[in-house]
């Protein structure tokens, strides 16, 4: 659980929503809804850095977010051909599952994981009824949520890069950069 829950309890009124320092909590159901509101990249960077120093890779960040949410998070790759998406997050009864497309270059798969974690830390699935929490989101399902998750993913990638503990390798991107480079240079 988010450690700020105890700090916010005295400030709640029944049925109200309180926003302090980026954390949004629903007073009617404090144990089920905890959201970080991200307005811009600066908010997203505060969120990413605020998750502690113990992560510098996507798998480590998954563990940190799972611990903060007090719910396990599984990450799996599957064939998403024909769906029009590269990833999604599913909230089950007792765990969350991040699904990303098979065959993605490693840096892109990592970004998809960061993006889906963004949906979790921003509470985008927490407001839904249990039956509708297990569903695929499309890129058009909620543009504001997609934008917010993308800001968070960008911040996660920046913090991971700053920490420099990730494996350094030369463009292990499945050839993506080599494919784009000639087109970018010709502009």
Per-residue pLDDT of the chain (187 residues; tens, 9 = 90+): 333 233 222 222 222 222 323 434 444 433 434 467 888 999 999 999 999 999 999 999 999 999 999 999 999 999 999 988 999 999 888 899 999 999 999 999 999 999 999 999 998 887 655 545 444 454 447 889 999 999 999 999 999 999 875 445 444 555 555 555 444 444 4
Rounded alpha-carbon distances, angstroms, from residue 19 to 4, 8, 35, 46, 116: 12, 10, 9, 15, 23
Strands 96-101 and 73-78: parallel
- Percent helix, strand, coil in the chain, to 5, is 45, 15, 40
Distance CA 112, CA 109 (A): 5
Q: Which of 18, 96, 60, 154 is nearest to 4 (CA)?
A: 18
Class assignment of domain 41-164? mainly alpha
Distance CA 138, CA 86 (A): 10
Q: What is the pLDDT of residue 53?
A: 92
Distance CA 85, CA 93 (A): 23
Q: What is the pLDDT of residue 187?
A: 40
pTM: 0.68
């Amino acid at each position: 659980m988010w450690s700020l829950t105890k700090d916010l309890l005295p400030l709640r009124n029944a049925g109200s929503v309180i926003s302090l320092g980026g954390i949004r909590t629903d007073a009617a159901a404090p144990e089920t809804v905890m959201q970080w509101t991200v307005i811009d990249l600066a908010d997203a960077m505060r969120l990413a850095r605020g998750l502690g120093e113990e992560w510098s890779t996507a798998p480590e960040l998954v563990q940190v977010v799972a611990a903060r949410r007090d719910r396990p998070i599984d990450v799996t790759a599957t064939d998403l051909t024909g769906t029009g998406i590269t990833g999604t997050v599913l909230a089950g009864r007792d765990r969350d599952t991040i699904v990303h497309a098979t065959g993605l270059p490693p840096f892109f798969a990592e970004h998809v994981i960061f993006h889906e974690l963004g949906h979790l830390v921003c509470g985008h699935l927490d407001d839904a009824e249990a039956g509708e929490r297990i569903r695929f989101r499309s890129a058009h399902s909620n543009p504001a949520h997609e934008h917010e998750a993308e800001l968070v993913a960008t911040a996660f990638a920046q913090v991971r890069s700053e920490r420099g503990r990730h494996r350094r390798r030369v463009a292990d991107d499945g050839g993506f950069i080599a494919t784009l480079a000639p087109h970018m240079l010709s502009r």
